Amino acid sequence: MSDSHTHYTHYRTCNLCEAMCGLEIKVEGQHILSIKGDKDDPFSRGHICPKATALEDIYHDPDRLKFPVRRTAVGWQRISWDEAFDEVVQNIQRIQAEHGRNAIGVYLGNPNVHNLGLILYNAPFIRSLKTKNRFSATSVDQLPSQYAAYLMFGHQLLFPVPDVDRTLYFLMLGANPLASNGSLMTAAGIENRLKALQKRGGKLVVIDPRRTETAVLANEHHFIKPGTDALFLLALIHTLHAEGLVKPGRLAEFTDGLETIEQLATDFTPEDVAGYTGIAAHETRRIARELAAAESGVVYGRIGVSTQKFGGLCQWLINVLNVLTGNLDAPGGAMFTRPAVDVVGLTTLTGQTGSVGRAHSRVRGLPAVGGEFPAAAMAEEILTPGDGQIRGMITVAGNPVLSTPNGAQLDQALAQLDFMVAIDIYINETTRHANIILPTTTGLETEHYDLVFHLLAVRNTAKYSPALFEPEAGMLHDWQVLGELRQRLEGGGKINRKTLPGKIEFQKRLPPHKLIDLALRFGPYGARPLHGTPTGHNLTLAKLKRAPHGIDLGPLEPILQERLLTPNRRIVLAPEPLVADLVRLKETYAIGSGRSSDRAISGSVGKQPFGTERRPEQDQLVLIGRRDLRTNNSWMHNAPRLVKGKERCTLLMHPADAAARQLIPGQVVTVVSRVGQVMLPLEVTEAVMPGVVSMPHGWGHGREAIQLAVAQAHPGVSINDLTDECELDALTGNAAFSGTAVRVAAADGSG
C-alpha cells in the first residue's frame, strides 16, 4: 500500500482483458505517476497495451459509483448498505414467495471472470437464490468451446491452448489476437510471439471474412464466407483421410471414434464445399497437407467460429483436426495447462464438471449448458406471461443491453420488471433499469489472482497482486457484497450469527486471499497436492507475495491422459450430439444427400429436431463484428484515453458493395436487420470480403438516463440492436452474431 508522503512502485497483473500483462505502477500517495509494462514479469516480459493505462481513468472516474443508490422518481438517491441489503433481500423473497423461485433471474457479465472476488463468491450466492433462470456472457462468447470440451474430454474447462511459443504451423480461424491480446489463449505480447513463430521458420495462416490486424501479419490470409467454417474444417478432415495423412500418434492409444470421423467426412470434399466457403479446393488441400507435414502445428478458432449457427461443430472439428494430426497434447500443438490453482481439479471435486441439456428454457425450450440458459432467451423469459415468468432480475458486472442479441428488446423487457438489482460500478444502458445498484471496489483497490486466465495461458505461471489503494471508508469489496446477500437470503432476511450454517461462517472467515493460499498449498505446485506428487515448488501465497513479478512454472507439458474426465478416461472423438448436428449442416448446404455418411449419422443416434436455417436474400449483406485493441467491455468507453482519436464505430464495406449501392466513404448509412436499424458512418475498404459488412461491439451509449459522460460524448451505435435473438447455434444455444442478414442504404435514402 502507498501512503500520502512516499513514492512507491507497485507491481500487479492488469485484469482488463485476458492477456495477464504485468504492470509497473509508480505512485505518490494517491497519485499515479506512471503505468508501464513490467519487464521483469516472466510471462508478459514488459508487454502492455493501451487498456492498462486506463486503470487510472477508472480509479478516478467521477461517474463511478462507490456506495449504494436507489432509483426514485426524482433521480438516484444514495442509501446505506443496510438499507440497500434489506430492500434487495426483501424484494427477492417477496417475488419468490408470490411467483416461485424461478421468478428471479440472474445474469453474469464478462468482467466476472476478471475479478477474483466475483469468481470465488458468485457460485454460492447464486445457489442461495435457488433459481434455474441463470444466464451469463458465456452464451454470447465461448460456450461452443465449453460444450466440445465437456463432451470430448469430460470437463467444460479442459480447454486446449495453442502452444504458440513452440509451434511451426498455426492455422487460425475467426480470431484476431492482435486486437484481443489472445482469447482462450492467454498470451501477453502475442504479436511478438507470432513474429517469433515466423522468425524460426514457422507459418501463420488466417481464415477470416475480414483482413484483420492479425491477418495482415500472417503469412497467408484467406477470406471465408461467414458461417461456413464447419464446411472448411470438414474438407480439411476429408483431405487428411483421402490422402493418407492421418497420424494421431500416441493419441490413438486413448481415443475412441477415429474410424467414425473418416466416415462422417466422406461427403465434404474440398470441391463440394468451395462454392459455399469461397476458398478454392486446391488451397484447402494444400493447407491440409501443410498442417499434416509440419513438425508441430495447431488449429485454433475463437469468437468468429463460436458465434455462428454451427459454432459447436466448429469447436469440435478444430479439436478433431488437432487429434488427427497428432498435435493435441503435444509440444507446439494444442496443449493443456497445469495451473497453480487447479480450477479443473477443484471443480471436479465439487461435481462441477459441466452438463448438457439437464433443463430447457420455459418459452423456447432452449437447452441449459453448464447450468445456464442462453442469454438470447432472457428477454422472452421476462416478457412472456405464465408460470415461471421472470419478474425480478439480478445483474452482476454485466451490460447485456449492449452485449446480447436484440438488445433493444431486452432494454424494453428490463423496464417491465417488478424489481431489479445490479452489482455494478456504473449507471449504464442496463443498470439504469435497476431499483438498487450495489457498487463495489474495483481495479487498483482490489487484490487479484487470475483464476481463469492462468488456466488458459500459453505457459504455466503464477502471480498474486495485492491492492494498491485502500478503498474509501464505507466501500465494500464484491465478495463482501455477495457474502452479505447470501447470508441474508439463507438466514431468512436478517443475519442471526448464532444459527448460521457452518459453511457460511467458514466462507466469512476466508476472504479471497486465504482461499487462494489454500488452493496453492493443495495445488499441483504446493507441498500437499491433491493430485500427483509434490514438485518441490512448495508454492504458497506468502511465496508469491515475495515474487511480485510472478513465478515461472515452465512450459506446457503433455498431461491430457491424466486429466481426462470422460467415463472411460479416453478422448471421445465423435460425441453423439455433435455427430447428429452434422445432419443440420448437410441439410443447410444440400451436401451428400442420400449418401453413405448420411446413413452413418442417422444410424448412430436418434433423430434430432433442428430449426430451419435462414439464407440472406439477394440484396442483403452479411454482418460480422470486430474487436478493437482499446475495447474489451462497453464500460471502457468511459475512459478518455480509450476513446480518443478517430471514429471507431463505423461500418466496413467492400468497394464493390458500396459502388452497387452508390455509397461513398464517410457517408452516414442506415443498416437494417429483422430486429432493428442503426445509422453510422461508412468506411469503404478491401479489408472485408464482398458481401460482408462489419461493425464493432460495445457501443451504443446514446440511450437516455445513463451516467457515463465520456461514453455519451462518443456514443456510436450498438451492433446488438441488429443481431437477432432467434439466430442461434441450435446445438449449444450460443448466439449467432456472425452472419446477421442486413440491408444497407444511404441514411438520406439516396443510396
CB 290 within 8 A of CB 240: no
Half-sphere exposure at residue 691, Cβ-oriented, CA atoms within 13 angstroms? 14
Instruction: Give the tens place of pLDDT for each residue, 141-198.
Output: 999 999 999 999 999 999 999 999 999 999 999 999 999 999 999 999 999 999 999 9
Instruction: Give the tens place of pLDDT for each residue, 509-543.
Output: 689 999 999 999 999 999 999 888 999 999 999 99
Instruction: Give the tens place of pLDDT for each residue, 545-599.
Output: 999 999 999 999 999 999 999 999 999 999 999 999 999 999 999 998 544 344 3
> What per-residue confidence (pLDDT) applies to 6?
81
DSSP per residue over 432-485, as a string? GG-SEE-----GGGS-B--HHHHHTBSEEEE--B--SSPPPTT---HHHHHHHH
> What per-residue confidence (pLDDT) applies to 49?
94
Sorted by sequence, the CB contacts under 8 Å of residue 572 that are 6+ apart come out as 151, 152, 153, 256, 257, 566
* pLDDT confidence band for 221 (50 / 70 / 90): very high
Whether 3 has a pLDDT exceeding 70, the answer reads: no
Rounded mean pLDDT, 298-310: 98
Question: How many residues make up the chain in this entry?
Answer: 751
Which of these ranges, 45-54, 84-93, 501-510, has the smallest mean pLDDT? Answer: 501-510
How far apart (Å, rounded) are the C-alpha atoms in residues 10 and 25? 5
Sorted by sequence, the CB contacts under 8 Å of residue 659 that are 6+ apart come out as none
> What per-residue confidence (pLDDT) applies to 634?
86
Residue whose C-alpha is closest to residue 111's, from 86, 141, 150 = 141
Grid cell 475479478 in the structure block, residue: 115
Whether 602 has a pLDDT exceeding 50, the answer reads: no
How far apart (Å, rounded) are the C-alpha atoms in residues 129 and 93? 9
Answer with the residue of higher pLDDT: 493 or 582: 582
% of the chain surpassing 90 pLDDT: 90
How far apart (Å, rounded) are the C-alpha atoms in residues 198 and 449? 32
CB 596 within 8 A of CB 590: no
Instruction: Give the tens place of pLDDT for each residue, 40-62.
Output: 999 999 999 999 988 999 999 99
- Regarding beta strands 621-624 and 692-694, do their DSSP bridges make them parallel or antiparallel, or are they unpaired? parallel
The set of cell numbers assigned to 486 is 447470501
* pLDDT confidence band for 498 (50 / 70 / 90): very low
* pLDDT confidence band for 613 (50 / 70 / 90): very low
In angstroms, the Cα distances linking 172 to 124, 129, 214, 254, 564 are 37, 41, 10, 26, 25
Domains and CATH numbers, the chain: 169-338+570-574 (3.40.228.10), 621-726 (2.40.40.20)
Which of these ranges, 388-392, 547-551, 616-620, has the smallest mean pLDDT? Answer: 616-620
How far apart (Å, rounded) are the C-alpha atoms in residues 87 and 92? 9
Instruction: Give the tens place of pLDDT for each residue, 15-24.
Output: 999 999 999 9
Whether 496 has a pLDDT exceeding 70, the answer reads: no
Whether 406 has a pLDDT exceeding 90, the answer reads: yes
Total-model pTM? 0.95
> What per-residue confidence (pLDDT) applies to 631?
85
% of the chain surpassing 70 pLDDT: 93
